[in-house]
Structure 1
Amino acid sequence: MGRARQTFERRQLGLTLRRLRSAAGKSQQEAAKTLGKARSRIVQIEDGEGAPPAADLDALLDFYGVDPDEQETVRALAAKARKRQPRRSYVDTLPDAFQRFADVEASATNICTFEPAIVPGILQSPKYVRALIAEWGEIFPSESATEVEDRIAFRRARHAQIFVPDGPQSVRAVVDEVALRTTVGDTEVMREQLAHLLALNDRHACLDVRVLRSGVFAHPGRGGGLTLFGFGDRGCPVAYSSVVYGPSVYLDDQSDIAVMSRIFEHTYRNALPADESRDLIEKVLKEFS
């Protein structure tokens, strides 16, 4: 079977199957042997250039020891990958959408991110993450302590996947000054978060953090956050549009990507230079001391 055109749904399916295979400790060769196929077929599927037939998918999920609930989610994702309808955006309404976001994030070679009122997720410190989750306590009052800890552990694991030697070649992040000065949790949380920003920027050559002053004029990103994922020669870019609540929305139509890229580049250009951004973060850190 030849390579199919890579679509976002196929890419998500491939990344999910790659993660499940890795978690099961299986090689691509072993997976291919289970299907009676060449290893190149598993490579195609995991690269998002094909969706396996239902019988092959079931065989892989059983071989990887995937639990029944997650099997149903992967089957639903595969159904979308096989039946893509013409559209400009993809809305991920299936369970565990944040895990699939992390799969896309970890596979990117270049990341550009901006949030208008909070520190972008990729830069959040452990206490800041916990404080943000606590703010949702009244929204999800039935959430157990175990579920909260699971969410925090997932965030930490997600961060650990990014700033590694084989991680993204470039991460550009624009942080709104409002996010630096708005107390999330308490002053101790903010001190940790601001120090975390400075440490990340010093430690990782791939990271470029810029601060957007709160009084900047003509700011097209003011209404919402966005993240752009680039994949080099392994696929077309994808944009993620963040919302306060609701399903994950991805854009992979190239005209939409162009607009989202212009929004980010405009925001990035209007932010302070790297050295001035660092000076401002240090200043705000002292204000919280």
Structure 2
Amino acid sequence: CRLIFSEADFLPGLIVDRYADFLSLQILSSGIEKAKDIIIAVLVKLLQPKGIFDRSDATARTHEGITAENGLLWGETPAEFIEVKENGILYHINIVEGQKSGFYCDQRDNRKILASYTNEKSVLDCFSYSGGFSLNAFAQGAAEVTSVDSSALAIETLKQNITLNKFDEIKHIAIQSDVNKQLRQFNDEEKKFDVVVLDPPKYAPSRSALDRAARAYKDLNRRGLLLLESGGLLATFSCSGAVDIDTFKQIIAWAALDAGKEVQIIKQFCQPEDHPVRLSFPEGEYLKGLLVRVV
């Protein structure tokens, strides 16, 4: 879970996530960097973790004029994989080398919500990482799941998580591939799914990249929609703060038009409670998503 969410918790530039007995820390401003020792001491006193590991984003630190750092800040070095439970599902999390801070805890609620639509369905989970959406679909009785990610570590971790949860008997295909390339291949093969999940990385790190990102989101979603028949569901997300929900809806409308599909929005996804949004800092509302049905 997220313990401290930067500006939203009145500590700009500080993000702290807790995974079992370890803390994953991101220091993204020069002011927080200067107070790092005090912050670590307070976290140790209040939370008594086994260890605190630095996963600060190098680009953000460079913009602040501070050097990129990753590594152990206090206590024990975490094992290669830490076991945690979310929504009743077990995960192996790699704090040291995994993406983001080790896990995408901001999708916790959305994984559970979407899973309720997957019983006896064929599911395509794109940018699957360690299998959050895939595993929740398994737990809710999906008929089969295909998971696609470009990272070998992510695919290996996903396979471990399947075994960890005793889902080995469920029909599953794990594909290490560029997602857009794989979607094109599925389209060439006229492959169809009941549910398609698109949870890509940040395409628009700033507003200056918005036009390019909009084209990338549109092309990605067009390919996803082409894999759905009437009644099929597309769960699509953007974690780009520069893309607001109205812009995202317009992008999906363009994608549907290009795909020759008529769609309905049946649900809107957002951040969980441990990722609050201050009304005086709307930029903190970075994660948004739509569940659309092809009609």
Q: Same fold (TM over 0.5)?
A: no
User: RCO higher in 1 or 2 (8 Å CA, sep ≥ 6)?
Assistant: 1
Give the TM-score normalised by the residue count of structure 2. Answer: 0.31
TM-score (normalizing by structure 1): 0.31
**Which of the pair is proportionally richer in helix?**
1
